[in-house]
Amino acid sequence: MKSPAVPHKRFYVLDEKDRPVEVFDCSEWSHWMSENEQIFRRTLLEESRVTITTRFRGVSDTGIGEALLFVTRIAGMQARDNKSYGARTLDEAMEQHERVVQKILRMLAGR
């Protein structure tokens, strides 16, 4: 009987223009991740204690479609509303961050 395939992870760092570049040396990736800031935007909605954070993940599982290397996460809401959204590029991630912030502001305002 065949063992289920374990997804192979692919590792990325960002170049000087914040574009993902695949690296093949795990220690190079680990060093880069420890030396560089991965959070690009954090929005704290103080009254509601909701935080929206957009960061670079730097890792993807192959075989699961396009690499979503950036993630926007919502924390501080009810469990069902604490979600994560992936993006392929920093530009996509920043646009997504703003859409999520606006959506939550509307939700909190009761719209």
Over its length of 111 residues, how does the chain's per-residue pLDDT go in tens digits?
A: 565 655 578 999 999 999 999 999 999 999 999 999 999 999 999 888 899 999 999 998 766 667 899 999 999 877 777 889 999 999 999 999 999 999 999 988 885
* Cβ 62 vs Cβ 10: under 8 Å: yes
Domain assignment present for residue 98? The answer is yes
Domain assignment present for residue 102? The answer is yes
How far is it, in rounded angstroms, from Cα 93 to Cα 1?
42
Indicate the Cα dihedral angle 24, 25, 29, 35, nearest 10°. Answer: -140
* Cβ 50 vs Cβ 74: under 8 Å: yes
* Segments forming the whole domain that contains residue 70: 9-108
Domain assignment present for residue 34? The answer is yes
Give the pLDDT confidence score for residue 7 in this predicted structure. 59
pTM: 0.83
Domain assignment present for residue 43? The answer is yes
Domain assignment present for residue 3? The answer is no
How far is it, in rounded angstroms, from Cα 84 to Cα 100?
10
Domain assignment present for residue 14? The answer is yes
Domain assignment present for residue 4? The answer is no
Number of domains the chain is built from: 1
36 three-state secondary structure: coil
Domain assignment present for residue 1? The answer is no
